[in-house]
Amino acid sequence: MSEFDLSAKTGPYSCPACGGRMVFDPASQQLKCPYCGTLKPFQCARETPNEYDIRFPPPETDAAWIDETRVARCEECGAEFVETGETRVRICPFCGSKRMQESAAEAGIAPEGVIPFQLTRREAQERFNKWIRGHIFVCGAVKKQAAEGNLTGVYLPRWTYVDDAVSVYEGKAGRHYQGQIPYTVTDPDGKERTEKRSEQLTRWERVSRTLEQRFDDVMIPGSERLPQAMLNSVMPWKMSQLRRYVPEFIAGYACEKPVADVQAGWQEAQAMVDRRLAELAERDILSSADEAQVQRLETEHHNIRYRLTLVPMYLNAYTYHKKKRHVLINGQNGKVAGHAPISPLRIAAAVLLGLLILLGLFALFMSRGGSDYMFNDLSGLNRMLL
Ligand SMILES: [Zn+2]
Ligand SMILES: [Zn+2]
């Protein structure tokens, strides 16, 4: 907690009891003083965060971070973080570097929504330790990270979109039927005759239909600093816990500045929606057919709305064999994913131990008269060979 200055006793983040800087506490969902444990509730609007029309930027008042902001940049990997209130990012959550610099960049558009941390740092650390225990051959470098408690809570930016899609598709619906296929048989006296066998065939007919579908909360990363496959494995986000952004939720946490803008995010979201619509069209044909082919699908997107949302993640970053490695823990559901490089030394030690046990068992077996049995068996083998 060295990043907090204890001298000032006033301000929204000052502890009323000791003047310490309060941070967001996932367990109570209030501000909590890390020094004396005092809790302080804060106001957060109950209604769902706003969504904005894709054709316009959000209104100035809604796009504000509310608290004064600064931007910190990692000199090592280039990641940028928005700092509010008294929070200072001292160690880059993405690469573990301590080379953080204040940047002149603007904080940019403020988030409208936030899924607040539900897991405390201690709970995240327990998940990390359990994950390590499940990887017995993992290298010492990761174990060291867990033992040293190198976890940082960071909010990641996500664009979410609502879209009313209307698609017209054309394709073919195939229905199975039993057909009679003629084939030629040659009798023993050389005469040919035609017989028929029953076989499953498909009758195709053209279909063309319109699909109307609303897509809610299609979520797209605002940056790509973490491997997507790893992120996917700690999904999904429970959107029922989405709250309207107020700066208290991010007090004491790093908050990544989005790299991708709202339009770039929409391009990605649209591709996802289009893939989903192709699946829906296929399923639509299959609802009254045995086989489906979608040949053309044209979609119009209406009423596209967007929102910037922050999602909570605990991160550990370390370098192994000159490569950046990560372990991440979903700050909402506690799922863990990460690189788990295997230590060849640990495997060699396990193999050696296995061999020693086998050797021990063999010695025990021999000392208990097993040798007689073996020679008897060998003599039996000799007899068979003779
Ligand atoms: Zn206090
Ligand atoms: Zn970095």
Residues 301-339: tens digit of each pLDDT: 999 999 999 999 999 988 888 888 899 999 999 999 988
Statement: residue 84 has pLDDT above 90:
no
Distance 16 CA to ligand 1 centre (A): 7
Question: Is the separation of the CB atoms in 301 and 319 below 8 Å?
Answer: no
Nearest bound ligand to the CA of residue 37: 1
- Nearest alpha carbon to residue 248 among 3, 12, 5: 12
Query: Scanning the structure block, which residue is given the tokens 């709202």?
Result: 262
How far apart CA 111 and CA 117 sit, in angstroms, is: 15
Q: pLDDT for 90-120, tens place per residue?
A: 889 999 899 999 999 888 888 999 999 999 9
Q: What confidence score (pLDDT) does residue 369 get?
A: 62
Answer yes or no: is pLDDT of 386 > 70: no
Residue matched to tokens 């603007």? 106
Cα distance between residue 179 and residue 42, in whole Å: 73
Q: Which ligand has the nearest atom to the CA of 4?
A: 1
- For residue 359, the model assigns a pLDDT of 86
Stronger pLDDT, 139 or 247, i.e. the higher one: 247
187: CA distance to ligand 1 center in Å? 101
With contact defined as beta carbons under 8 Å apart, do 200 and 178 qualify? Answer: yes
Cα–ligand 1 centroid distance for 253 (angstroms): 18
The rounded Å distance from CA 89 to ligand 1 centre is 21
Beta bridge partners of 213: 165
Distance 85 CA to ligand 1 centre (A): 17
What percent of the chain has a predicted confidence (pLDDT) above 70?
91
| Ligand number, closest to the Cα atom of 254 | 2
User: Which residues are CB-contacts of 298 (< 8 A; sequence separation ≥ 6)?
Assistant: 167, 168, 169
CA of 22, nearest ligand number: 1
What b-and-e string marks burial along 135-155, b requiring 16 or more CB atoms within 10 Å of the CB? eeebbeebeebbeeebbbbbb
Rounded to the nearest whole angstrom, what is the distance from the C-alpha of residue 38 to the centroid of ligand 1?
Answer: 5
CA of 93 to the centre of ligand 1 (A): 27
- What average pLDDT does the structure give for the chain? 87
SS3 at position 51: coil
Q: Distance between CA atoms of 163 and 268, rounded to whole angstroms?
A: 13
- pTM, two decimals, is 0.80
